[in-house]
Amino acid sequence: MAKRNTVLLIYTGGTIGMVQDVQSGTLVPFDFEHLLLQVPELKKFNINIEVVPFTPAIDSSNMHPCIWEKLCKIINENYHKVDGFVILHGSDTMAFTASALSFMLHNLSKPVILTGSQLPIGTIRTDGKENLITAIEIAATKKNGKSIVSEVCIYFEYKLYRGNRTHKFNAEHFDAFHSPNYRYLAKAGVYIDYNFEALKKPSKEKFFIKTKLDNSVAVLTLFPGISLHLVEAVLSNKFIKAIVLLTFGSGNAPNDAQFISLLKNAIKNGKIIYNVTQCNAGSVIQGRYETSEQLQEIGIVAGADITTEAAITKLMYLLGNYKSTTTIKQLLQQNIAGELSN
């Protein structure tokens, strides 16, 4: 008889494990054992499923770098015991967690798949069952004795995406996630169709984790008429080391002299400014238009086609592990975990 593969299911919380409180009508977490009772199909799998539940369960709005560190440590402790990992997580901040883990987990040769649902798993029309069942199946699947998937992913509504390329774009539809700048990794139908060219190759190096993060990061979203007082308040904050500057289109910003001066002074004072587009798809190309030419000249780092979620978590990771501003700026422009197109 063929060896049964083992998947470690890590339950952090989220809508998939919620139930409606009779008195208040609000959704509250319930005991994880009830989740397994709601999905009896799991017993039909020729897969060993081990479970690590978070107690208490965490609403994804309360997600924090310390939870990412905890997830990394759980994966590290069980890495050589199981064949793959599935993390049940609230969808609201799932792209942040997937992005962070992609930088913190090094030399993966096994899948780490995040999934959840838009409706609680106990409701009749829930999307949670399919998401959970297929995520587990993908996490356990091997070809020639090796895992087909060997990276951090998000599985939602019949598609598997690279985790640090995703963005939650819809709060109501089951198709909640998009990966606009990178193709899907697999699509589930009658069979699971893997996009082998898009998948990362499994690492032959020893797996290890880096859990040190520095959250001294701010996000400054530009809009027409933005107050220079607001810009200055963000850029001059002594507790902030790096700023994700969410710009227009392909990396454009006002060319007002005072605005440019504030950016220039911040860089002179050691701040790192990362230019990321507000658009859901496309890439920052500094210097393409006159309104981004000065950004290039004063030393702002172009974020290419990185997502906002990946930009924030990549900065946290780099600030936590490197002291040299020059090195951090160089790495921001390099693809280190599949987050940027070559």
Measured in Å, how far apart are the chain's first and last C-alpha atoms? 44
- Cβ 262 vs Cβ 296: under 8 Å: no
Location of structure tokens 């700026």:
329
CB atoms within 10 A of CB 50: 12
- Cβ 185 vs Cβ 198: under 8 Å: yes
Helix (H) or strand (E) segment spanning residue 318: helix 308-321
Q: In sequence order, what are the beta bridge partners of 193? A: 187
Q: 322 CB contacts (<8 Å, ≥6 apart)?
A: 328, 331
| Beta strands 186-188 and 192-194, pairing class | antiparallel
Is 12 an annotated catalytic residue?
no
Of the listed 15, 141, 211, 308, which one is catalytic?
15
Q: 19 CB contacts (<8 Å, ≥6 apart)?
A: 27, 28, 29, 30, 34, 120, 122
Using left for φ > 0, alpha for ψ between -120 and 50, and beta otherwise, residue 173 falls in: beta
CA atoms of 230 and 232, how far apart (whole Å): 5
- Cβ 51 vs Cβ 132: under 8 Å: no
Q: Which residues are catalytic?
A: 15
